[in-house]
Structures are given as C-alpha cells and as structure tokens.
A and B are shown apart, each in its own frame.
Chain A
Amino acid sequence: MRWGVVRFPGSLDDGDALYALRDVMGQDAAMLWHKDEALGGAQCVVLPGGFSYGDYLRCGAIARFSPIMKSVARFAADGGLVLGICNGFQILCEAHLLPGALMRNRSLSFICDFVNVRVENAQTPFTRAARAGEILHLPIKHGEGCYVAPVAELAQMEERGQVVLRYVDAAGVESEAANPNGSMRSIAGVANDRFNVFGLMPHPEHAVEKLLGGEDGLKIFQSIVEGAR
C-alpha cells in the first residue's frame, strides 16, 4: 500500500518511520513536505515524532497550521487513515483530529525507555493484527506525553473503545509504577470516534527489527496493511 510520512521542520523520527515502512516492510512509502498540500496518493498518512517547529509554543501547536495539515484534515474527514506517533499524536490533538491533550510528564523530565502497552481494542484499523489484551514492548521518548481529557469525555471514549493502548507492567497489569508519564487512565494511544485517526506516544517505528529492540511495533503497521488488502 502507499504511505506518506510528513516531514515538518524539526521532525526527527520521519526518516525512521520511512525506513521501517520502506526498508523493513517493503511498503511503498514517500516523504511529504510540510509546505506542500499534496498527499501523493497516500492511503495512510504518518505524522512522525520530533519537535516540529521546535515545539516552542506548545507541542504540535504550530505544526497544525502548516499547509499540509489542511490536506491531512480533509483526508481524515474523508475517512483516510492517519497515524500520529509521539509529536504526531500531539499535533493531532492540537488539530482536534483526536480528543484530549498531552501535558508535561509527571516527572517533569524527558523519559526515554521501553514500556509495555496493552492492546485494549484489537478491532481498529491500527491494531487488528494484534490480539485484544496483547502486550506490546515499545520504546517511548518524550517530555510531554501525559494524556488528559475531560472525565466525561474519557468515559465516552472508553465506552466506544477509543482507548486503544494502555501502559501496563510486564504482567499486563495497570499501575502507577507502570504509567511512565502520569497519563489519565494509563492511556498510551487513542483513536477518534470513526477509528480512522490514531495517535500514540510509544514509537512503533523503533521496534521493527530484532537487532534494535524487538519487532512488536510491526503489529501496528501490519494492521494497517492488512486493512488495505
């Protein structure tokens, strides 16, 4: 299938996402430039990790106004698949393509580590290759990944299955200790109510090779590929 990875100024994991898709998975993937509006026929658009525009105002707050985000919003409104990783997740929240917001980590410092996340909803286009309850071992690296949303909205999201990934310990149990950034309800990834837009703080593109931290991230990308077939 055809993928587009958006490169904003300050994107850092754009090349890694492209490498995972193209070199590891053999997908047809291309870089998209933030100043363009064309999506190049992509069937799934990836907003990668990094510090778009330096994240100087608020993470993702400036990127949402870039020319390509107009097209991404239209694409999402038409039902196109959009995957936001880390900074991409922050951008999607700022653009109101996903509910909620991402705040400073509880520790107030940047965290780079491997975490376990549990697949809460395996029916989405982004998780269908996983089993419900499956534990994925993925890296995180962010300073602002504490997910928050109004309590009432959270309840609705839970009911609809929009909470897709949750931080857990190695045994699959939620706990304060296993929640690296203080996210409400240990939320690591959420989808919109149409399930065509998905954002997550962990980096699946950094877990696609045995040599480098495992292959659990492939589950996310494979899910999308399976859906396109």
Chain B
Amino acid sequence: MSRSPMALPGEPVIDAAQARAHGLTDDEFAAIERILGRAPTFTELGVFSVMWSEHCSYKSSRKHLRMLPMKGRNVVGGPGENAGAIEVGDGWVAVFKIESHNHPSYVEPYQGAATGVGGILRDIFTMGARPIASMDSLKFGSLEHPRTRYLVGGVVGGIGGYGNCVGVPTVAGEVMFDAGYDGNILVNAFALGLARREDLQSARARGAGNPVLYVGSATGRDGIHGASLLASAEFDAESESKRPTVQVGDPFTEKLLIEACLEAIKTGAIVAIQDMGAAGLTSSSSEMAGRGGLGIELDLDRVPLREANLTPYEILLSESQERMLIVAERGREAELAAVFEKWDLHAEVIGRITDDGRWRALWKGQVVADVPVGAISDDAPVYDRPARAPAPANEAVSTNGLSAAPSPAEAFRAIISSPNVASKRMVFRQYDSIVQGNTVVGPGSDAAVLRIKDSRRGLALKVDSNPRACTLDPYIGAIATVCEAARNVACAGARPAGITNCLNYGNPERPEIMWQLIRGIEGLRDAAIAFETPVISGNVSLYNETAGRAIPPTPTIAVVGTFDNVAVHLKQYFKSPGDAVLIVRTAPPSLAASEYAALFGAADQRLAPIDLRRERKLLDGLVECADRRLIRSAHDVSEGGLAVALAESCFNPGGLLGVEIDLGDSGHVAEVLFGEGSSTVVISASVENIEVLHQIFAPLEVVVSGRVTQAPRLKIGAAIDEDVAALRGLYEGALPGRLERS
C-alpha cells in the first residue's frame, strides 16, 4: 500500500532548478523521478539531497574505498555498522572511529569542533561501548593568517568544553599550521570505546512491528543541510552565511545519554540503535531499516520539538545534537522509557518497523514522504570520477635559501621553536586527559597508553598525518603516514592492531584531486596489508577548498595497538645516564617534506619509495624489545628530525638528562640532523643489550651513536652543543609566544 504523498500548502514548485539549489545535479534529479515514478515532494527532495550528498553517500569515494582491507583475524562485526571493532583479549573489544568536522569548524569554530567530538562519541556508545578516549587531529592555516588565532581558540575551546564536560579523556592528538589550510581548516575527531564482545550493538533493524524510539534532546532548526550544503561544497564568499547550518552542542545531555544508553543496552530490549548524526532522523531511520531489509514508518507529530511550528522537511533534516534512534523489542518500551526517565531523558515512540521496504513519514494524518528505503540508504549514485595526475611542476626543486644555509646550531634553534615542531602543551593542557583513570601515558608522547581495568592488558593509540609528504606524492605520503602512526604505537611498545582513517581532500570533481584521493587510498591499502592492520572504520571529507584552492592532500590515520601486558610500555624519555643511544632506521635520511625544507629550502624534494617489509621489521623489532624489556626508551623521529627527537628524549619530567652523540664523518649533516624522510627511531638501552638489538633489527641499519649523560647538555658531534634546559625553554615557549602575542 502506498498513498502518494501530497505537496503541502506553501511549498515551492519542485523542478530541476529547485533540485540544483539542493545540491543535486540534473541527472540525479532525473534518477529520483525514475525511482519514484513521479516528481518528489519538497520533503522528499530534501531527504534525497542530504542522503545523496557527498558527505552521507560517499558517492565519489565509495568505489575506491572497496580496495581497503577491512577484515582480519581480530576484527569483530562487519562493515556497515556505525564503527568497527577489534578484539583486544579477555573478551574485550575496542571500537574506534575518526570523523571530520572541517566545514562547520571553519564557519563556527567552537560549536563546530564541540559537536565533532559529540558526534564521534555517539558513534562509539551506540555500539554498546563506553567511550574511554578521544584524540584530535587539527590543521590550521598559517599563524600569520588573520583568522588563524580565532580559529585555534575556538576549536581548542570547543574540544575542551565538550570533551571535558562529557568525561572522556583527550589523550593524544596533533596540531599543524600551514598556509595550505588558510581557507579550510581540518578538525578530525577520534574516539575509542571498550565493550564486552557480547554487548556489541547493531544498527540493523529487525522485526516488523517493533517500535521506533526517539531519545535525547528535542529537535530544533539547527544543522539543517549541514551535511549537504555545508560539508559537500566548496567554500566561497557566501560560506559565512551558512553559520546557522552548524549545530549547537550540549555535553551535559550527551553525558546523560551515554549513561542512559549503556544502561538501556544492558536490558536487552534494544534491537538496533543509531545516532541521529548527519541528516539526523532521515539517515538514522532509513539506514537502520535498510540494513535489515525492512521498511519504517515515522509519525512526525510525535517527534519532540524545541519549537512548535517545524515543517516535516525541517524535522527530517534537522541535525540537532544529542539524539538517538532506537528500535526496541515490541512490548518492552516502558522498560526502556524507565531507564531514560531515571536519567531525566525522554524516550518517545515515534514510529514502527514495517516489512514493505518503504521509508514513510506521516504528518498531521497525511503521508509527506514515501520512498523505497534502499533508494536513500544504499542506492545513492556511485561515481567513477575521472582522475588524472597533474603535470609535473617545473620548479619541484626549491632552492629557497640554499645559498645562505644556516649553521646547524642556528637551524636547530629555529626548527625546535617552529610552531609545528614545538610543544603543544598549551593546547593539550586544556583537555582533561586523565578522567576515567586509565591514562598511563597522556598527551605529548609518541602514543597515548591506556590500561584496561581488571586485566593486564592495554592499548596504545596515535593519530598522524603528513600533508607535506602527501603533497609531494599522495601515494608515498599516505604510506608514510600509516608508517608514522604505527611506529608511534610500536615505540610505546604496543603491537599495531587496527586503523581508522579520515581522508581530507579538495573537490573530487577535479581530476587532479580525484587522483590524489585514489593514490591516498592505495597507499593506505598497501601499508595496512603489509602491517596486517585492518581498516575498520573511516570517513571521507571532500570539497575542502576555497575559491578553487584545495587543501594539501591529508589522509589522517589513527592506529590502535594492543598490549598483552601494559606494564612493558615505553616512553620517549631517556632514563639512565650511561645507557647507549641507538638510532634505528629503514632508509637513508632525506630532507624531503621536512620542517627544515619548509624553513630553509632543500635541494632534493623527492620522496624515496618506502620498503614496507623493512617498515614491518622496525615495528616488530620495537614490540619485541618492549616485550623482552630490552630497551629503556623509544622515540620516533618525526617533525623536526633527529636533533629534535634527541632533545625531546632528554626532556624527562622526572629530571632533565643529556646526550652525547657521534655521527661519524657524515657528509650530509642537515639530512642526518633534520631529515624526516625515512623511518627512524631513537632508542636507549643498557650497553649489554646492544648485541641482541642488532640481531632483532637486522637487516635494518642500527647505529650505536652515543650515550645518555647526567649533565643536561645535548651534544651532536661538532655541530650542536646546547643546554637542555634552554632547549626546553624554546620548545615549550614557542607556541604560547606565537598564539598569545597580540
């Protein structure tokens, strides 16, 4: 049975022009008419426009995402749920995902970032997992850009304001400043939850006749078309006017929702549950019904509203925050309602599951939308957009400043004070990193380390990106990014176990951007296969571009690793004077994509191919060293290169130490001291373990290059001799100095 929905009084005429105003192409509009066998109503047009938007449908990336390895021995549950999960042992599973909130955060930084955190947390607890950690990857424009400091303040304030109040620790992250993000910042929010395997929830509806419950905040007009018009289009002069499409967050309600949902799940009365995220009620209802191959009927008159006169169009498209949709076992509604009442939240039955495969909405006694479920949840168009490598640039070689290359000491001081290299303490100090009592290693180290209560097990996690490398080569850059995130986790002593990713690129309708995206996915695929770390969840953010200028290609990669015994975890800090300092690397150092090159230029800006077998060897070696307690510290050489990594290893909070390094007769001092172009790790170990370390890492290059000293001085050959306390002053003072200056 399907009564054709009627147009409501005062609604605009539905034609191709109206469809274009909704971000739909003429072909897409024709497809909608074909599917329905008639013109859509205004409400239906709105529904198709959000569900077929790039943000919700992945129509440009979907074809290519299929190449990613999503399965693995440790993967629990299939793809298509709200977030993936991996086994961590003793019956525990870790659920994690990263998601972008880029466009809203540029338009309204505080609420944009805050609701990014809120949304990703809901994706986790909707799986039945208690969120136990957050991370954020932030990319801002140059500090000289007039909007940057406003955006930093707003985004950091929003992440803290929401995360601190909801009681989930922010344990790691990254912050970068680059003129490539002047017009489009990136805010990628990661969350991880823990669940007992048997408690994992589904977002797949079952059982025709089962009631559909709405819980959480009432629906208002905020966020309408956030997913379609804001997140799926480039910025232009009008973007500021889209500020009302940004949602407003309420972390207190989110905290209540977390507790109430986890308690409600324990009753066993929930069949399926999903967050009302992008495209709100429309996406959550159609996706749950679609996964179950069923239909759903919604009575919009029963949806709790913040103001009385919302139209069906607005109710269905609102992205008001802190709302969840639940399919319950029939007859157990009251039991669930009691749990939500306890937490001062309301649960309202607003519809039911049907078996006719239709997604139907009723309002004031009439049908206002009636479409096949699959047409909006699953069968959005999939595009195979043309991709083309850009013509090689003529001046790929930057000789900027080469003639007046600084002395190693000058270069070192400049690099360690660079905002991209220097300490981000002033940012992460604003985040609660210890609530819930699991944080063994918090922000500021290679990877965060969490213990799992009532077990010896633990987790390590890190989020990384390397837009400079991805700009030089989007394929090698993506591999380098996965390697770095995995290496950070392995430096903490954990075995990399799973990946989540957020792919941030420009406008996919441009072939060069599409090429960057595909090459990025290929790089991610190859590294994930080599490390046996399945990609269990992810998100794609396209159209990060303003006035035709795209952001640098930025695949953001988070790696989660597991410990059988968290007590073996390592930190980056040297511990004992007299220990040998060893440098392990997979390839010769290079200045490509380094901070040095950004500041002073570099003759050769080509990335060498990465040998993934050698990268794997490095990861395995680090994990073995930790398990056998053969080393006392491990630190990844990343932003700034070896000299900075050595300095950071000396900044032991328990008391500064020093290091004396002899690099021999290296002809390429800048490459060795400041190169970031190969995977390199600084480790310290008791002298008697040197022999076995060589064996463990063979055939990688292991250079025994010096020793830890009690005196806090950093000495590297004849090139550098600095007081460690002074270096720490530069390192800690740089970012506050740049951000607080008025």
- A: residues with CB less than 8 A from B are 9-10, 12-13, 15-16, 19-20, 23, 49-51, 53-56, 109-113, 139, 141, 143, 203, 205-206, 211-213
Contact = CB atoms under 8 A, between A and B. Distances in A.
B114 to A, nearest CB: 13
A12 to B, nearest CB: 4
A15 B258 CA distance: 14
Nearest to A14: B167
Contacts of B251: 51, 54
Nearest to B250: A54
B249 to A, nearest CB: 11
A14 B160 CA distance: 20
Contacts of A15: 436-437
A223 B433 CA distance: 27
A143 B162 CA distance: 13
B432 A141 contact: yes
A211 B451 contact: yes
Interface in B545-570: 566-567
B269 interface: no
Contacts of B160: 109-110
B435 A12 contact: yes
List the 8 closest pairs (A to B, CB-CB), nearest first: A54-B252, A12-B167, A16-B437, A51-B165, A141-B432, A110-B430, A112-B432, A110-B160
Contacts of A211: 440, 451, 566-567
A20 B453 CA distance: 12
Interface in B113-154: none
Given A51-B251, A112-B431, 13 more contacts: A9-B256, A9-B343, A9-B344, A12-B255, A23-B453, A50-B167, A113-B429, A141-B432, A141-B433, A211-B440, A211-B451, A211-B566, A212-B440
B439 interface: yes
B305 interface: no
11 contacts: A9-B256, A10-B252, A13-B167, A19-B437, A19-B453, A53-B252, A112-B432, A205-B437, A211-B567, A212-B434, A212-B440
Nearest to A109: B430
Interface residues of B, number: 33
Contacts of B429: 111-113
Contacts of B343: 9
B264 to A, nearest CB: 16
A23 B433 CA distance: 21
B552 to A, nearest CB: 30
A19 B255 CA distance: 19
B164 interface: yes
Contact of A112 (B165, B167, B430, B567): B430
B252 A112 contact: no
Contacts of B566: 211
A46 to B, nearest CB: 15
Nearest to A17: B437
Contacts of A205: 437
B635 to A, nearest CB: 21
Contacts of A9: 252, 255-256, 343-344
A69 to B, nearest CB: 17
Contacts of B252: 9-10, 51, 53-54, 56
Interface string B241-265: 0000000001111011000000000
Interface in B460-502: none
A140 B566 CA distance: 25
Interface string B268-293: 00000000000000000000000000
A112 B255 contact: no
B439 A212 contact: yes
Contact of A111 (B165, B166, B430): B430
A16 B439 contact: no
Contacts of A55: 165
Contact of A139 (B164, B256, B434, B451): B434
Binding site secondary structure of chain A: mixed
Nearest to B165: A51
Interface of B: 157, 160-161, 164-167, 250-253, 255-256, 343-344, 428-440, 451, 453-454, 566-567
Contacts of B439: 212
B413 to A, nearest CB: 24
A107 to B, nearest CB: 9
Nearest to A56: B252
Contacts of B567: 211
A212 B531 CA distance: 30
B431 A54 contact: no
Contacts of A50: 167
Given A56-B252, A212-B440, A10 B434 contact: no
A16 B436 contact: yes
B435 A13 contact: yes
Nearest to A24: B437
Contacts of A112: 164, 428-434
A141 B437 contact: no
Residue of B253, B435, B439 contacting most chain A CB atoms (<10 Å)? B435
Nearest to A19: B437
A15 B432 CA distance: 15
A113 B389 CA distance: 47
Contacts of B428: 112
A110 B161 CA distance: 8
A54 B165 contact: yes
A206 B433 CA distance: 11
Nearest to A15: B436
A26 B439 CA distance: 21
Contacts of A213: 434
A212 B437 contact: yes
Given A16-B437, A211-B567, A212-B451, A10 B165 contact: yes
Contacts of B454: 23
A16 B255 contact: no
Contacts of A12: 165-167, 255, 432, 435
Nearest to B255: A10
A206 B164 contact: no
B104 to A, nearest CB: 22
Contacts of B435: 12-13, 16, 49, 141
B451 A141 contact: no
A206 B435 CA distance: 8
A206 B434 contact: yes
Nearest to B256: A9
B550 to A, nearest CB: 33
Contacts of A19: 437, 453
Q: Counting chain B CB atoms within 10 Å of each CB, which of A10, A23, A206 scores highest?
A: A10
B500 to A, nearest CB: 25
Nearest to A211: B440
A208 to B, nearest CB: 9
A113 to B, nearest CB: 6
A177 to B, nearest CB: 13
B182 to A, nearest CB: 25
A130 to B, nearest CB: 22
B164 A110 contact: yes
A9 B429 CA distance: 25
A19 to B, nearest CB: 6
A10 B343 CA distance: 10
A19 B453 CA distance: 10
A53 B250 CA distance: 11
Contacts of A51: 164-165, 251-252, 255
Contacts of A111: 429-430
Contacts of A49: 435
B347 to A, nearest CB: 16
Contacts of B165: 10, 12, 51, 54-55
B377 to A, nearest CB: 34
A61 B7 CA distance: 50
B435 to A, nearest CB: 5
B392 to A, nearest CB: 46
Contacts of B344: 9
Contacts of B253: 54
B360 to A, nearest CB: 36
A51 B164 CA distance: 9
A67 to B, nearest CB: 13
